[in-house]
Structure 1
Amino acid sequence: MPRTAGWGYPEPYTRDLMFSILGIAVTGNHELIESIRNVLETLAKNQTEHGHISSLVHDKDDRGSSDTTPLFLLGVGIFRKLTGENDFLDEAVIKSLTWMEYQSPSDRYMVAQLPTSDWRDEQWVIGYGLFVNTLAYSYLRLLGLDERANLMSKEMKLFTIKEGRMHQHVHEGLVVKNKPYYAFWSFKVYSSERFDLLGNSLAILSGLAPVSRADAIISWIEEECANMMQKGDLAVNLPPNCFPFTQPGDPDWIRRYEDFNLPGNYHNGGM
């Protein structure tokens, strides 16, 4: 089983290895491709009864991540296109697709999560997170489930709700009024308008964001980063993973951030 990181992290983390598929797929390296086959097959072997994918590839009891199952489906979708094995791990895929459908509290299309359950293990994402939902949209496209992908896209492109109350038959989405980018997360009348670099990047790469919105997002990032550099909040010409930074005193500041997630660090605006 390949390692996913150095610096004292020898464990095969599912999310890291699934993201590595994006790079491996373009190398054409047979050894790397076969290593990913091994990873995907091991994940399928360790899949739970109801279709959930473990956080560590080799440990079927390390569970609870909101992004590992959609990343597994994304990985299988890429692997199928890469190898032409269109029924690769079909049984496991069907189980994981069912698991993901049950992650929608409204029994519609967007999926929800608990705080610190995705790659941001120190940054709270509540309810419908952009990152996990862009993963879900992406695997639906890769697996040819276009009807559900279209319906999910339609739901995600609804506005977040800011009036403090929900009207009957009005559902929250991830579009922020008067902003080019998608919300960090939303759930009922609550949402975060902090900018999620990874989630918005996946929205662009997957085609969820139309070209006009993608161009506007990129221009907004460049402008905001230039402003941050002028103010001394950004030292290098690279966008932080999340901004504006969550500061002490902000409504979404968590006491634990003082020890593990200070402004401009780690998941709170690190690189």
Structure 2
Amino acid sequence: MTINEIEQAYDAALEVLKACASPLGLKASALNQGYPHVWARDAPITALGALITGDEALLLACRASLITLGDHQSDLGMLPLNVDTRTGNVTTENAGAIDANMWFVLGHYACHRRTNDTAFLRAAWPRIQAALLWLRYQDMNDCGLLEAPEAADWADLYATRYNTLYANALYVGTLEAAGYLSAALGEDGAAHRVRANDVRRKINLLLWLDRPWDGQRFGAQLETLRALRLEWFLLHQQTATLTEKPYFLSWAGFREFGDTFDGFGNMLAILFGVASETQTRSILDYAHAAGTNDPAPLKAFYPPIYPGERDWRDYYRSRNLNLPDQYHNGGIWPFLGGFYVLALERAGNHDNAQSMLHSLARANKLGRTQPWEFNEWLHGRSGRPMGHPLQAWSAGMYVCAYHAVVHGETPLLPPCPARTADPWADPPST
């Protein structure tokens, strides 16, 4: 692929974004038979690229998305899964959407960073505070981490559960954003940043498996786990199959854990300062060596889960979606490829980020009916498009990755410090 094709991909992505703009906000897909809804996760993720373009119509669509979602917030502060732009109907299916509230806060952060419109932020502030309070109540046992049932986030047909990496890494970024937004309104945001650091530390204690040769260090980690929460200590001490991993576990529950590689969760761990520099290198080395970025970036979870394995669910067969190497179960999602490129840039791997931007452009060019299809997801082995075309977040995250690699622009995500190397150490203050 030539440099010119990288630019062609950018121009095509802009056209998709413009086609997804509606009076109610950014639709998830430009086609009504696809996803003609403003989704609480898709729209803010799409906005990371849409806002950076400087296009006024896209800015208005980003703001409209947040208003539409906020208008349908529940009395307890929960944001809807999506709002149908044709009917105005609201969806809160599956087990809810624990990440909807977090992307709502991050969407407001991105808009304020881009526009510095404090009046818009102040008008939305009660809804943002309600969204944050609802999230606090998702920590049902007061351990400091969020708990979630199956199918409660973007991987809504996949068996991650309880203390999940994705939700809690995203929570770190949400709390950092809340601290920034509080300060923008003249309020004290220190409590949000303190909580973000606490979540960082506990993700490392629970979900990063480090068995150093120095037994004293490992013993200190176990004692920290015992003091914080007996169940966490027992999980690490008694589960013989818990061995060193080069990435964060995808989830931990009652005496069990998920050891598949969560592409989204691990990229967010890098971007939101959950991972140290050493951990970041380990994660990115594994992502490349295991082929999670091949034939295109990035596979949602790897390796795939097969029938008969512990975490196989019969609902994976629903609509023929989550068979091995498909959809969440090892399928490639181009929007995740955008986060992968951002993580490479944050790690200082500019050459690799540039190479992956080329690969992402090629993936977005593929189509069953037209070129530059910006498909929803691709088969994990063949790389062929299998989802809905003209996806807003596939286009938006390409634009975001393009600006990061080509122009060196920082994505509209909260800047977060990297952790120290010790999983049980207190992270640096922000």
TM-score (norm 1): 0.87
Q: 1:220 to 1:101 in 2, by over 3 A?
A: same
- Say whether residues 1:125 and 2:160 are aligned partners: yes
Identity between Structure 1 and Structure 2 (%): 27
Gaps of at least 5 residues in structure 1 are 229-233
Q: Secondary structure at the match of 2:206?
A: coil
- Say whether residues 1:10 and 2:36 are aligned partners: yes
- Say whether residues 1:20 and 2:46 are aligned partners: yes
Q: Secondary structure at the match of 1:115?
A: coil
Q: CA deviation at 1:235?
A: 6.7
- Tell me whether 249-258 or 79-88 shows the greater mean CA deviation: 79-88
Q: 1:231 is matched with which residue?
A: none
Q: 1:108 is matched with which residue?
A: 143
Q: Deviations over 1:226-256 (max 9, x none)?
A: xx8xxxxx97254421111101111111122
Q: 1:177 to 1:101 in 2, by over 3 A?
A: farther
1:191 and 1:27 map into 2 onto residues whose CA distance is: 41
- Say whether residues 1:32 and 2:58 are aligned partners: yes
Q: CA deviation at 1:177?
A: 4.8
- Tell me whether 77-86 or 100-109 shows the greater mean CA deviation: 77-86
Q: 1:167 to 1:146 in 2, by over 3 A?
A: closer
Contact 2:158 2:328 in 1 (8 A): yes
What is the 5 A alignment of 1:1-271? Answer: 1=24, 2-5=26-29, 6=31, 8-57=34-83, 61-63=90-92, 64-86=96-118, 87-88=121-122, 89-144=124-179, 145-160=192-207, 169-170=229-230, 172=232, 177-225=243-291, 236-258=295-317, 259-271=320-332
Q: Secondary structure at the match of 1:157?
A: helix
State the superposition RMSD in angstroms: 2.7
Contact 2:208 2:245 in 1 (8 A): no
- Tell me whether 132-141 or 91-100 shows the greater mean CA deviation: 132-141
Q: 1:140 to 1:161 in 2, by over 3 A?
A: closer
Contact 1:18 1:75 in 2 (8 A): yes
2:301 and 2:83 map into 1 onto residues whose CA distance is: 27
Contact 1:131 1:202 in 2 (8 A): yes
Contact 1:54 1:60 in 2 (8 A): no
Q: CA deviation at 1:117?
A: 2.0
More helix by share: 2
Q: CA deviation at 1:109?
A: 2.2
What amino acid is aligned across from residue 197 of structure 2 in structure 1?
Answer: N
Q: 1:107 to 1:85 in 2, by over 3 A?
A: farther
1:253 and 1:108 map into 2 onto residues whose CA distance is: 28
What amino acid is aligned across from residue 155 of structure 1 in structure 2?
Answer: K
Q: 1:90 to 1:239 in 2, by over 3 A?
A: closer
Q: CA deviation at 1:172?
A: 3.3
- Tell me whether 137-146 or 95-104 shows the greater mean CA deviation: 137-146
Q: 1:182 to 1:12 in 2, by over 3 A?
A: same
Q: Which has the higher contact order (CA 8 A, sep 6+)?
A: 2
1:178 and 1:117 map into 2 onto residues whose CA distance is: 27
Q: 1:239 to 1:14 in 2, by over 3 A?
A: closer
2:256 and 2:207 map into 1 onto residues whose CA distance is: 8
1:123 and 1:141 map into 2 onto residues whose CA distance is: 28
Q: Secondary structure at the match of 2:257?
A: strand
What amino acid is aligned across from residue 189 of structure 1 in structure 2?
Answer: R
Q: Secondary structure at the match of 1:12?
A: strand
What amino acid is aligned across from residue 170 of structure 1 in structure 2?
Answer: L
Q: 1:95 to 1:255 in 2, by over 3 A?
A: same
Contact 1:104 1:110 in 2 (8 A): yes
